Amino acid sequence: MRREVNPMKHASARRYVRAVKGLYIHAIVYAAGSMAMAAINFFTGAPYWAVFPVAGWGLGVGIHAIAVLGPTRLFSRDWEAGKIREWRMRHRGALGAEQWLP
């Protein structure tokens, strides 16, 4: 039996997943850009200018994360519980069932 999908909820979920994907891409580009700036600054020597754009960009990534995930969802108890559930599902076959008894 096939469940009916609410189109409004589905569209909302798609928007959220795209926003999280955009955040991940932003974080990856930030990490790569920061490493590139640090390497350039290391080889060119003092003054150490790379700290300022890396810090500013990092602030932007943090604001992006809060905008996408929300200030209360970022590392909340629900987030922790969800990550634990995700990890348990991923490693369910690797560990015996007795590992999950309370």
* Threshold 0.75, pTM exceeds: no
> Which pLDDT does position 101 carry in this prediction?
47
Residue 26: how many CA atoms within 13 Å on its side-chain side? 17
| 22 and 14 Cβ atoms separated by less than 8 Å | no
Could you state, in order of their start, the residue ranges of all structural domains in the chain? 1-71, 72-102
Distances (CA, A) of 53 to 62, 66, 78, 90: 14, 20, 33, 37
- Distance separating alpha carbons of residues 95 and 89, to the nearest angstrom: 11
Rounded distance, CA 16 to CA 13, Å?
A: 5
Q: What is the pLDDT of residues 27-75, one digit of tens each?
A: 999 999 999 999 999 999 889 999 999 999 999 999 999 999 887 766 6
